[in-house]
Structure 1
Amino acid sequence: MNKTLEKIHVAIADDHAMVREGLKQILELEDDIEVIAQASNGEEALDIAREKQPDVILMDINMPGMNGLQAIKEIKNEKVPSKIIVLTIHEDREYLFKTLHMGAEGYVLKDADPNILIEAIRSVNSGEAYIQGNMTKELIKEFKRITSNTKEKSEDSNLTSREKEVLALIAEGLINREIAKRLYISEKTVKNHVSNIFKKLNVTDRTQAAIYAYKNNITSQTTQDHL
């Protein structure tokens, strides 16, 4: 007898009804995701977080009344267990850092491929942080600025050549499916490599792994040079 698949319960907070409905239709094509509530502003998002405690809330920033930033602050202050992914048009370092500082677990742009959003939901639900690839680069730029006056000794992580290739592509912001295509391997093999990389580097998410790659100059070019 098959076990019932445990679904990730998602709430969508966006002031445009068509955006909410479009997202709902896309997400519910996945067997493990169910949209249980929708909100058109921050107040409604806060009420949903309190009453329904969805696993993941997709939170727009610009909404009338209480905006997404205020809603994130209130939800985190009240220690509601829901994870929050900011889903926004703002490709802006300031918003990225502000929402992460407030406690958001993810940051995805509205024009992202649906596969990116789906991977973000699954990653955040499993306890990882998820920053969309090109925004990860903004984090690395900030890291570079902060550490520009300190010299980091390269660490010996015992990564294999293949794991370094995968890590370099993680740092470029590629999702597992894209890495599999680039390296001509299966997505399952990529997942195994990513798991091994996290263990060896003692990190818990792709952003931390990307920062390690930057610190140790692990890039697609350097890995190709050694092949």
Structure 2
Amino acid sequence: MNKTSVLLVDDHAIVRAGFRMLLAATDSIEIIAEAERGEAACQLYLEKKPDVVVLDLSMPGIGGLECIRRICDRVPEAKILVFSVHEENVYVSRALEAGAKGYITKSSAPNILVEAILKIAAGGMYFEPGLEKSYPNFVGNHLAEVDYKNLMNTLTPKEFDIFCLLAKGLTTHKIAGELCLSYKTVANYATQIKTKFNAATVAELAHIATALGVLKK
């Protein structure tokens, strides 16, 4: 029986080791390559041509969402499963829009990962039960949430990553270090994001992020 080949993408070596141990117990799946950054994952995908990519969203460099987009731009039929700590609906939506075929959280049962990989490899889609959440009807007292949702959809993958980090309270310097970008680049992104949402402060961005489900209340 041919095994389903997997490219594993996560910036934490201990997490990848755990995945290897889990999938090693499965006769039908094998990890053929690993990457800790999105840039390397894009290159490895083209070289190794795995059946499925299992990918985290939060990584330094281009990040998971941009990695999905780049792979799917080159290979539209690529089969990518997001395996993330984020369970908020907005992350699922962004991953789908980028081209992912499935989404599960790292808190899911071990058998869910195996089930998801095999289903996506067979041409299906897989989403962990319970990820679908409704948004609140309004944000604040002046603008319907759907307007913010539409604005969210205009963010580039990098803008989205920086938006999330700003909303979580990280400083521009910390975000620059987290994403391996210059301070000036992050500051420019922050200005663009505030302009798009017509937000004067990071606190306003945090309020919007909470209402959209990017941050938990």
Structure 2 length normalisation: TM-score?
0.60
Higher RCO (CA-CA < 8 Å; seq separation 6+): 2
Aligned residue runs from structure 1 range 1-227, under 5 A: 5-79=1-75, 81-135=77-131, 137-138=132-133, 141=134
How far the C-alpha of 1:101 sits from its partner, in A, is 1.3
How far the C-alpha of 1:82 sits from its partner, in A, is 3.2
1:218 aligns with none
| Kept after mapping to 2: 8 A contact 1:53/1:82 | no
Unaligned regions of 5+ residues in structure 2, if any?
Answer: 136-217
How far the C-alpha of 1:56 sits from its partner, in A, is 0.5
Q: How many residues align?
A: 135
Structure 2: distance between partners of 1:33 and 1:8: 5
Structure 2: distance between partners of 1:78 and 1:38: 19
How far the C-alpha of 1:81 sits from its partner, in A, is 4.1
Structure 1: distance between partners of 2:83 and 2:70: 18
Change (3 A) 1:10 1:121: same
State the Cα deviation string for residues 137-158 of structure 1 (Å, max 9, x = none): 33xx47xxxxxxxxxxxxxxxx
State the Cα deviation string for residues 44-64 of structure 1 (Å, max 9, x = none): 110111111100011100101
Unaligned regions of 5+ residues in structure 1, if any?
Answer: 143-227
The 3-state SS of whatever aligns with 2:2 is coil
| Kept after mapping to 2: 8 A contact 1:96/1:107 | yes
Structure 2: distance between partners of 1:36 and 1:132: 24
State the Cα deviation string for residues 160-196 of structure 1 (Å, max 9, x = none): xxxxxxxxxxxxxxxxxxxxxxxxxxxxxxxxxxxxx
Structure 1 length normalisation: TM-score?
0.58
Structure 1: distance between partners of 2:67 and 2:22: 24
AA aligned to 1:79 is V
Structure 2: distance between partners of 1:10 and 1:28: 12
Structure 1: distance between partners of 2:51 and 2:77: 8
Structure 2: distance between partners of 1:80 and 1:27: 26
The 3-state SS of whatever aligns with 1:134 is coil
| Kept after mapping to 2: 8 A contact 1:49/1:80 | no
Runs of 4 or more above 6 Å deviation: none
State the Cα deviation string for residues 180-226 of structure 1 (Å, max 9, x = none): xxxxxxxxxxxxxxxxxxxxxxxxxxxxxxxxxxxxxxxxxxxxxxx
| Kept after mapping to 1: 8 A contact 2:102/2:116 | yes
How much identity, in percent, do the aligned residues show? 39
Structure 1: distance between partners of 2:24 and 2:97: 30
